[in-house]
Structure 1
Amino acid sequence: MFGLKTEASFDGAHFLADYYGKCENLHGHRWRVVAYARQESLQTEGTMRDMVLDFGVFKKALRSIVGEFDHMFLVEEGTLKQATVDALEGEGFTLKMLPFRTTAENLARYFYGRLEQEGIPVAQVDVYETPLNCASYFGE
């Protein structure tokens, strides 16, 4: 088995609705996203011969996806009143509306799925909220 690892990061704010603790309040993180690709064997033809995948392709895919979240307010759909969304957007804030609760676990699953759609042989994605705490998604 062969594997690669790359990472990217983004700054973003979020809150957890229906949570009873500090994270129910709006706060931010320097999110760190670490992705692992894995294949049983190396490629046999072309410019990626004897590689799992070109590091440049892997880095570009992850950084492009993660870049969509940089300096955004991550909001679970339905957790803010429409008037609040309108007011924030009216003030020039950029909201990233997501169909899931904005936990590290759900973000790891989201980034995994996006990498998979890009044709990356992704095996695992870790999302760090802090330097010492991360959630991992391993796929099916």
Structure 2
Amino acid sequence: MYGLKTESSFDAAHFLTDYHGKCENLHGHRWRVVAYLEQADLQTEGTHKDMVIDFADFKHALRDLTEELDHSFVVEEGSLMPKTLDCLREEGFTLSMMPFRTTAENLARYFFGKLAEQGFPVSQVDVYETPNNCAIYRA
């Protein structure tokens, strides 16, 4: 089995709805995303011969995804009142609306899905909230 790994990071704020602890309050992280690709065989033709894929394509895909969330407020849809969202937008805040609770586990699944949609043979994504704590999503 052959594999590749790349990583990217982004700074973003979030909070957890219906959570009873510090994370129910608005706070931020320097999120670190590590993505792994895996496939049994290397490509056999063209410029990607003897590669899983072009590292540059993989690197750029992950960086583009993390860039979309960088320096934003990652918000679970339905977790804030519409007037609160309107006020935040009026103040110029960048909101990244997500259809899920904004846990590291769900963000790992989110990045996994986005890479898979682009045709990458993704096998695992790790999302670190802190240098020592990460959530993992695997195929």
Q: TM-score range by the shorter chain?
A: over 0.9
Q: CA deviation at 1:65?
A: 1.1
Aligned residue for 1:108, secondary structure, equals helix
1:47-99 per-position Cα deviation (integer Å, ceiling 9, x unaligned): 11001111101001111111110001000000101111011111000111110
Aligned to 1:101: 101
Aligned residue for 1:68, secondary structure, equals helix
Q: Is there any run of 5+ residues in structure 2 with no aligned partner, and where?
A: none
Aligned to 1:8: 8
> Separation in 1 of the partners of 2:85 and 2:95?
8
> Separation in 2 of the partners of 1:57 and 1:120?
10
- State the 4+ residue runs in structure 1 displaced beyond 4 angstroms: none
Aligned to 2:81: 81
Does residue 1:129 correspond to 2:93, yes or no? Answer: no
TM-score (norm 1): 0.98
Q: CA deviation at 1:46?
A: 0.5
Identity of aligned residues (%): 69
> Separation in 2 of the partners of 1:56 and 1:85?
37
Q: Is there any run of 5+ residues in structure 1 with no aligned partner, and where?
A: none
> Separation in 2 of the partners of 1:69 and 1:21?
24
Does residue 1:71 correspond to 2:85, yes or no? Answer: no
> Separation in 2 of the partners of 1:51 and 1:132?
32
